[in-house]
Each structure stands twice: as C-alpha cells, then as structure tokens.
Amino acid sequence: MGYIDIGEIRASFSMRIGQILIESELISPKQLSNGLEYGRAKGIALGRVLKLLKVMSEGDIERALETQKLIRMGLSPVLALAALKKAVKSQGTLESALQDCDFSTFSKSRTEKDETQAKAKFIELDYAAPPDKLIEKGDKLLLADQCEEAEANYLSARGVLERTLGRNHLDLTPVLIRLGNTYMATDRFEQAEECYEEVLILSIKSLPPNHPQIAQAYESLADLYRARGDEAESMENFMRALDILERLLPANLSLYASILRKVAAHTQVSDKPVEARRQPIGELLKQAGLLTDEQLQSALRMSKQTREPIGTVLRKNGMVKERDLQSALKSQFYVRQGVLTEALATELLSRAARRNISLERLLHEAAILSSDESRYETYREIATEVDNLVAAESNGGASHKDLAPLAYKVASLYEKVGDKPQAEIYYARALKIWEADIRGDLTAARACASLAKIHQSQNRMAEVVPLLFKALEHRQQALGSNHDETIETLEDIAEAEILQENAINALNFIRSALASREALGQEEAKLMRAHLLLGDCQSALNNYGEAEAAYLKATEFAQAGFGSASPALAAVAEKLGDLYSLKKEIKNAGIQYEYAMKILQRAGKLSGDAGDSLKEKAEKLKAL
C-alpha cells in the first residue's frame, strides 16, 4: 500500500515556476518554451526537465521551488524574486538572502505553514484498479513532482497488464514509457534505460519498421544518454529516429522538427578561432555524400586550370544541383559563424538533399535559426497543421471541405514566415481540392487572391489574372457585386492587366470598381487606390490629361485618409512626377519628386527602397 500527499496540488494560488524563472532572469523565454515542450512529451515537471537538459543546476532549481512555496504562503512576489536573484548570484541559501529584505509583507509564519502541511489529505492507492485508471493517477502525480507515488501507480498498472496480456504485448509500452520517464526524473538512468529498451524491442517486434512509435523510442533513449553525458550514443539514437521519420514526411513533421531542435540546441560549437573552423566547400559536399572523391579531385583540377572558384566549376559542370550548392554555401557560413558544428552542418546538409529541399528550409522547419519567439511558434504551428492535413488525407472519410481549409491554413502560415515557394504549393493544393465541387467559397477566394499575389511577385503574370477571375467569381457568388472584397478583386485585376500592358481591359475593371466605391460612399483610403489605378490606366493609354486629373484626386484622398506625412501620399506624388516626366515637364516632375522625398523624410522612410528610387529619379532629372 502507498499514499499520495495532495497538499501541494490543493494550493489555490501561486506564481507558475516558469514565470518565476523568467522574471528572475534565470532562463530565457526560448529555454522555457523548449522545457515545457519536452516536459509535455515526457510527462515530467519543468524543474526536472531543466536539470536534465542542463539549463539550470539542481541548486538553483531548488531555490526557485522554495521561492514558489514562499509566494504561495503570502510572501510578496517582488521580495521573493529579489531574494532568489541574490541567492543564485551568491550561491547561498534563500533564507540568508531574505535576511537583508523587508519582511513586512510576509503574511504567514513558518508555524502556519507547518499546520497547513499537517492537515494535508492522503489518498490510499488502489492496486486493484483498472490499469488505465492507475496510469491516469500516475500521470497526475508525476506532473505534481510526486515521483515515488507515481512510480507505485505505474508499477501496479504494469503488473495488472502483464498478468492479463503477458510480458510481450505492445499495450505495455505506454506504462513502460511512463516508468522510464519517472526513473529519468529521479536520475535512475539504468532503470530508465531498461524501460526504454523494452519499449523499443516491443515496438520493433509488433509494428512496421517505419512506425513513428519506434522513432519516439529512439528519441527517448537519446534523451537518456544525453542526460547521462553519453553524447555520441545520444546523437546516434537521434539520427535513427530522424531516419525513420524522414520516410514518413510530411506526416509527423512536428516530431521531426522537435528532434532537430534538440540536436541543434545541444551541439556544442568548438572554441577554436573562426578561421580554424572554415571548411572548404568541396570537402563539405563530399562529407555530406553529395560529391564523390573523384568528382572533387576533377573539380579541383579544373578550378586550378581555369582559376575559377570551385563552386563555379561544380555548377558549370553539373556535378551538384544548384540548390545543394547554395545549401552547402549556407552550411559553410553557419559553421564559420559558430551557429553549427562541422559535423552537424554536414549531417543537416545531407538530410536536406535527401529530402530534396534547401538547408535553409530544413533549419526553418525546426526553427533552429529563429531567435524571434513568434516565428518559432509559427513554425511549430506549421508542423502541427501539416500533421493534421496528412492525417485528414489518410482518413478515407475526410471530405473536400475538411481538407481544403487545412491546406489553405498551412499555406497562409508559410506566407506569414516569408516562405513563398511552400505557400504556393499549399495554396495550389487547396484550390485543386476546392475546384472539384466548391463555388462561392470565401476561403477559396482568398486562396486564389493570395496565390495570385505570390505569382505577381515572381513576375508570372500569365497565371495572375485567371486566379483573380476565380477569386472574383467566388466573391460575387458569396458576397454580391458591391461588397468591399469583390471591389478589391476588380482593382487587383485592373492592376494585373496594367502590368501586362492591357490598359484597355484594365480601364473597364477600374471604372466598375470606382463606380461601386463612390456609390457606397467609402472612405478616402479606398477611393485613393481606385483613382491611382485609374491614373495608371490613362497614363498607359497616353491620356495624360485624364491621368493627371485622377492622380490629383488620389492626392486629395491620400491627404484626407492618411495625413500629410504618409508613404501613401508620397507614392501619389511620385506617380505625378512620373507623369510629368513622360510629358517632358521637367520642372513639375522635379517638384513632385522633391515633395515626395520630403514626405518620406517626415515619415522616417526616406532611407528605404522608395526613397532610393525617388533620389535616383531626381538625379536623372537634374542631368537633363
């Protein structure tokens, strides 16, 4: 028989330990995020995780937990955090750090705390309970850092399962994993290893060779070896897990990315000087298996004869793909900067090539390069949504209405992080699914418009207008002809037609959009764009008088809608300057360019691309 002390669980108010660690500056937000992710995966309390990952020492973790208890008892969080910082800095006790602090905010005494603990309730373990209930109890206890009681529940569940199923049944793996995690949390590495190896053996015997559960068993062993200090064995098991998951991608992308982050986060870069870490590009490609030794020697000879860089020789002679060469150059750069070790750079370069993607994308998938917490979270969301999409596609009952929005969401997330090629792939997938039987769908319309924008940025204009017409059709059916989104699509079509030098076609669309906006009495900002596009159409048709009138109208709306120091007003002034240049009115053109530059200067935008373009135009006018 055993007993569970739930006194600590019952606390109604406290600062979370993660909040305490962040506010006392003992860990970074990224380290907290990684720790919580690991803890959720393993079912281990955060303090144990941070010790296992060697982010914090055991002494500092104990000081932080003691701080949390004092806050629960009523000590001011400000006072408690100040004492924690002092204790960590001096590596002394929290009690000695508190002696220099003001105790007027300490609302409960030690005696009161002892009385509270004495009243703690106890729950008797029920070894006759069903195994799933025992496991559920154990999970709650382990999260509460009550490892002995959790272990008792898990061992009871294991005993029940072995009596009913035998010792070699796959259904034993969930409780074995939890037992392994419990032993890890209490530094009993040999017992944890036995559990994880048993999980691996059962999984290999009972499951297909590429099953993700086998990869997770290798990951657990890798975590164990890392915590024990056996880095070589840890890395070997991480790589075995990645080998399995690569065959399953894009399913399980989130697990794959999580392992990549672990590998990169714990790989120590050498303290050698930067120059000593520089590896020749040819050697890097050879070690990654992308270039044979014979090819390398041949390329070196040609490089010596022609005096061309070896990268140029490799590219010209088709010895490596352009994408792999660029990835190798990036890899070389990251080694030189100390972001990756040579061994890790080579390994990741090889894996990127096998997956037929760039090294940059592989690193971004795992958020290895991202110090921006929001981008890290977005990549993690991408991985989760890709898993959801693959799971839905593998489900025969999933309908088009289920799949297309998932693909659209993945595409929009990729666009959010600036990965246009991937966004394009998933927008196209969403549209292909919708095309079968969906009409008047607003999400489909937005997918069309987003994909058109990507194609326009790539100068693939022939593909832009058809997509915009599809967006227009969906929006007209769903929203009617006078809705803002429908009118905006008409303007987008007009803009695309102008860029393709079809100004006559554009004129019809922009007139229709402008008439609708005026009829609706819309705000100045939206009327500005319509008049600006009208001016572009008339200018392209050499109707300079009409163009000037449209731009002047756009100027009025820009001033009213955005103010006198807005980039929008500067853009209209630049358009007027361009028009006057076409009409050979050099003085008026110069006035408009100078006016636009002053606006950008007031807005603090003169040093950007728009300011550079204006300066260049002004210089050309002066030369004339």
Query: Same structural domain for residues 409 and 454?
Result: yes
Least confident of 59-73, 272-286, 327-341, 463-477: 272-286
**Where in the sequence is the domain holding 339, given as residue range(s)?**
279-365
Q: Which of 399, 376, 389, 466 is nearest to 425 (CA)?
A: 389
The enclosing domain of 496 has a CATH number of 1.25.40.10
Integer Cα distance of 76 and 459 in angstroms: 61
On whether both 581 and 534 belong to a single domain, the answer is no
619, 577 Cβ separation under 8 angstroms: no
* 69, pLDDT greater than 60: yes
Q: Using the predicted structure, report yes or no on whether residue 263 has a pLDDT greater than 90.
A: no
For the chain, the domain total comes to: 4
In angstroms, the Cα distances linking 32 to 27, 226, 238, 259, 616 are 7, 19, 22, 17, 49
Tens digits of residue pLDDT in 119-158: 333 334 444 678 888 888 888 888 888 888 888 889 888 8
The pLDDT assigned to 221 comes to: 93
Q: Are residues 331 and 424 in the same domain?
A: no
Strand pairing partners for 4?
Answer: 123
Q: Report the pLDDT value the prediction gives residue 274, as an integer from 0 to 100.
A: 44
599 in the same domain as 461: no
Percent of the chain with pLDDT over 90: 17
Rounded mean pLDDT of 216-244? 90
Q: Distance between CA atoms of 189 and 193, rounded to whole angstroms?
A: 6
Do residues 343 and 468 both lie within one domain?
Answer: no
Same domain, 530 and 489: yes
Helix boundaries (H) for 43-146: 46-52, 58-73, 77-90, 94-98, 110-118, 131-143
In this prediction, residue 436 carries a pLDDT of 60
- Identify the pLDDT of residue 104: 43
Non-local CB neighbours of 114 within 8 Å, separated by 6+ positions: none
Of the residues 63, 95, 123, the one at which a domain ends: 123
User: What average pLDDT score do residues 107-125 get?
Assistant: 38
Same domain, 548 and 417: yes
pLDDT digits (tens, 9 = 90+) for 372-418: 556 667 877 887 788 778 777 766 655 566 788 888 998 998 888 88
For residues 551 and 557, what is the distance between their CA atoms, to the nearest angstrom? 10
For strands 122-124 and 3-5, give the pairing. antiparallel
Sign (positive/negative) of CA torsion 444, 468, 518, 477? negative
Listed residues 339, 365, 391: the one ending a domain: 365
Residue 560 CA to residue 36 CA, distance in Å, equals 50
Say whether both 386 and 512 belong to one domain: yes
- Please determine, for residue 276, whether its predicted confidence score (pLDDT) is greater than 50: no
Query: Is position 163 within any domain?
Result: no
User: Of 554, 573, 597, which marks where a domain is finished?
Assistant: 554
Residue 196 maps to a domain? no
CA distance 400 to 93: 62
Report whether pLDDT(309) > 60.
Answer: yes
Residues 512 and 425 reside in one and the same domain: yes
The Cα-based distances of 328 to 345, 445, 455 in angstroms read: 9, 39, 28
Residues 45, 16 contacting (CB under 8 angstroms)? no
Q: Is residue 166 part of a domain?
A: no
